[in-house]
Structure 1
Amino acid sequence: MRPVDVVIACHTPTRPVGRAVASVLDDNGDDAGVTVVCHNRPAEEIAAVVGPEHRERVRFLEHHDEHRSASGPFNAGMRSSTAPFVAIMGSDDTLAPGTVASWLAVQERTGADVVLTRLALGTASAGVPTPAVRMARGGLVDLVADRLSYRSAPLGLLRREMLESTGRYLVEGAQIGGDVGMVTALMATQATAYDRFGPPYVIGEDAGDRVTYVVRPMREQLAFFADLLEADWFERLPGAARRAIGVKLLRIHVFGAVYYRQDVEIWTAQERADLAEITAEVILRAPGCLAPLSRVDRDLVEACLDPTLGADVLVRRARDRRRHGRPATLLTRGAGHLLDREAPLRFMAASLAVRHLPRLRAARRA
């Protein structure tokens, strides 16, 4: 048995699942086996698009439910595994050569229950700068000090026995954010490492029907917030951890949801009221989360909280925060928070390091 079982969920044979399988078995096969979970499809239909040289080495598992969500098949694959470690993988994605061996080396060195992988988009050289960790530090990482909450999916190595003992799995049926509560809870409560310089998990750019990209009502789009903010584990976290998670929820999810709703007609009275209530709930549950935000971000928060402001003001402020490099995008309202770990100056510097240092290190060694 290989030490790692890579679980790939696939709901249609039109996805490049054969490519995903090949990236595991050809480039990481000494350390990993593959389980392909066929979501509401016959196993033979998905198997037909996997290369014949790989087909006999893959465990095909059927999973049937009423949801258009990858959470169910991923959970089924992880729960049925007998390998010491599991990893989940989208059918559009690939692993760079040596990725799994690098995860295992980090795990052996640190004893971590969770090893977060480096990410790249489209090609292995196009690094994704999240989480913006401390690049000079080895060993285990910390939710607050290493800004781990910006990792929204449990991609990398997961100790199977830890998952079973904690019951931390994806939210079944969730079309958006079903992985956020799981990965945030794991990073906040379990020994976590980050593979800073290893080969990346490469996110594919093939799919045009990923449900994450669909604009939905705010209550539906951000329904997963409850998995974090109302959870017992979240309430038990230190204030600094709750604050860090709150900053991320606002900066990534709330602001992102507003930005992708540029049509003012979308913003009905009910949508504005829901946005205000959701934003206020984050601020209440994560005290201090406003302090490290930039001035333009604070302007946007105020628009989110005030349904009486015109929708044109709301969407304009969402656009303004993306006009990077201006003082208002870099400075906080309070000078005392200018160099906060979550404030723009330090956050951007750390993100640049995460994006470029692995490439520079590899070039220096070449």
Structure 2
Amino acid sequence: MQQSSVRSLVDVVIPVHSLSRPLGRAVDSARLGVQPLSAGEYVITVVAHHLSTEQVRGMLTQEQLDHVRIIEAPAEGTTAAAPRTAGLEHTDAKYICFLDSDDSYQPGAVGRWVKIAEKRHSDMVIPWLKHSNGRTDITPVIRPGRTSNLDPIADRLVYRASVFGLQRVETVRRLGAEFEFGTSTGEDQAFTLRLYVGAARIDYAPGEPTYVMHADAIDRVSKTPSPVRTQLEPAVRILSKPWFEGIALELRRAFVVKVIRINMFEAVTAHLGAGTWTSDEAHGTKEVLTTLLGAVPRARGDLSRADLRLIDLLLAGATEQGALQTALTERRRFASPAALLTANPVHVMGRDAPVRFMAAATAQMARDRLAKRRGGK
């Protein structure tokens, strides 16, 4: 990607790939989200993916069209990798934000992040992620009292894998952060992790206004049932990237633990719930799990005894759903010794081991509740 002279402060990039998406809502929220920035300080870019410019124009009112530019991305892949990459290649803004076409910003959210970035010289601003039902994500599970100059290891940034927030374009280009092509989901994992590893300054924006994730899209790719190995392919690809192999062992271990604990276990749970756990699924999961643990063998040390029981079943290629469901239930009994303690007592107080992680997550939820009452600062 070529560096362009900066002409605006922020570019809000909205990929759209389907006529069923509520694009008008996203555009309206972007116009409100950039407040109090003036018209010359922001750009709203709609990227047509598997759609023509004319089709996208037909999704918007004339007033909305007056406030956006529309570009076309190559009709490549089923994820937002192509349109997000196109948005990056075309921008001449200082910062960039990515908004999914079925999500929205609260008024002033982007303007707030820009203000933080300008004041603190941020390469990234990580916001709350709020759901339309009012629930907020607790990731990343940061250290108590920290909102600025976050550390990728100490503040467990790997638990926030999505790209939603603010990124400094010059930093993205300098680090060569890229979206992953050729996968059916998780295209932003490598992009965000590359920034976590190489960014000089990462800040947090707790509270509101913020990014709102809606659940009314009928075609979210990430909700399409797929094999566990397909869901984890983006993470497996990261393991072999040269920049990943050169980062601190502790961060590589944290990444693998997160992928197993969150992505793999949730994928297995979904298949059991859908009744789609087969011998092929068990075999594919065993292969992926073997690859993950082989890349960072010490990752087992941060997992609970209950986690390890489930892992051993998966490594054995278990197909008996009752045993797997029991193991999954046991690991979610978070007050039990099996779910809290590691197999080796030496690892019990590890940063990503259950005791410290759950304590930090509880503290994070308390801070989020306080921030929600007080409003974003």
Task: Please give the TM-score of this superposition, normalised by the length of structure 2.
Answer: 0.89
Tell me the secondary structure at the aligned position of residue 87 of structure 1: strand
Tell me the secondary structure at the aligned position of residue 116 of structure 1: strand
Tell me the secondary structure at the aligned position of residue 261 of structure 1: helix
Aligned equivalents of 1:64, 1:356: Cα separation in 2: 44
5 Å-filtered alignment, 1:275-294, equals 275-294=285-304
Aligned to 1:298: 308
Aligned equivalents of 1:27, 1:268: Cα separation in 2: 45
Aligned equivalents of 1:280, 1:152: Cα separation in 2: 22
Aligned equivalents of 2:144, 2:108: Cα separation in 1: 21
Q: Is the alpha carbon distance of 1:231 and 1:119 closer, same or farther for their aligned partners in structure 2, counting shifts above 3 Å?
A: same
Q: Is the alpha carbon distance of 1:27 and 1:300 closer, same or farther for their aligned partners in structure 2, counting shifts above 3 Å?
A: same
Q: Is the alpha carbon distance of 1:173 and 1:313 closer, same or farther for their aligned partners in structure 2, counting shifts above 3 Å?
A: same
Given candidates 148, 160, 167, the residue that maps to 2:157 is 148
Using the aligned pairs only, state the percent identity.
33
Given candidates 344, 347, 367, the residue that maps to 1:357 is 367
Contact 1:2/1:30 (<8 A) preserved: no
Aligned to 1:18: 24
Aligned to 1:132: 141
Contact 2:10/2:95 (<8 A) preserved: yes
Aligned to 1:227: 237
Residue 234 of structure 1: CA displacement? 1.1
- In structure 1, stretches of 5+ residues that fail to align are none
Tell me the secondary structure at the aligned position of residue 181 of structure 1: helix
CA deviations on 1:17-58 (whole Å, 9 max, x unpaired) are 111111111242443321011112122322333343322110
Aligned to 1:3: 9
- In structure 2, stretches of 5+ residues that fail to align are 1-6
Tell me the secondary structure at the aligned position of residue 308 of structure 2: helix
Aligned to 1:255: 265
Aligned to 2:348: 338
Given candidates 14, 35, 54, the residue that maps to 2:45 is 35
Given candidates 178, 200, 222, the residue that maps to 2:210 is 200
Q: Which moved more, 1:262-271 or 1:318-327?
A: 262-271
One-letter amino acid matched to 1:18: G
1:87 aligns with 2:93: no
CA deviations on 1:67-124 (whole Å, 9 max, x unpaired) are 222111111112111111111110111111221122123222332222212111115x
One-letter amino acid matched to 1:45: Q
Aligned equivalents of 1:20, 1:155: Cα separation in 2: 14
Tell me the secondary structure at the aligned position of residue 166 of structure 2: strand
Aligned equivalents of 2:203, 2:352: Cα separation in 1: 20
CA deviations on 1:218-239 (whole Å, 9 max, x unpaired) are 3322211232111111111111
5 Å-filtered alignment, 1:45-124, equals 45-122=55-132
Residue 364 of structure 1: CA displacement? 4.7
Contact 1:242/1:287 (<8 A) preserved: no
Residue 292 of structure 1: CA displacement? 2.1
5 Å-filtered alignment, 1:306-345, equals 306-307=316-317, 310-345=320-355
Contact 2:131/2:214 (<8 A) preserved: yes
Q: Is the alpha carbon distance of 1:263 and 1:86 closer, same or farther for their aligned partners in structure 2, counting shifts above 3 Å?
A: closer
Q: Is the alpha carbon distance of 1:322 and 1:358 closer, same or farther for their aligned partners in structure 2, counting shifts above 3 Å?
A: closer
One-letter amino acid matched to 1:168: A
Given candidates 169, 173, 185, the residue that maps to 2:194 is 185
Q: Which moved more, 1:131-140 or 1:83-92?
A: 131-140
Tell me the secondary structure at the aligned position of residue 300 of structure 2: coil
One-letter amino acid matched to 1:21: V
Q: Is the alpha carbon distance of 1:309 and 1:148 closer, same or farther for their aligned partners in structure 2, counting shifts above 3 Å?
A: same
Aligned length: 365
Q: Is the alpha carbon distance of 1:320 and 1:20 closer, same or farther for their aligned partners in structure 2, counting shifts above 3 Å?
A: same
CA deviations on 1:281-340 (whole Å, 9 max, x unpaired) are 211212321222222211111111112563432343234323444333223233333332
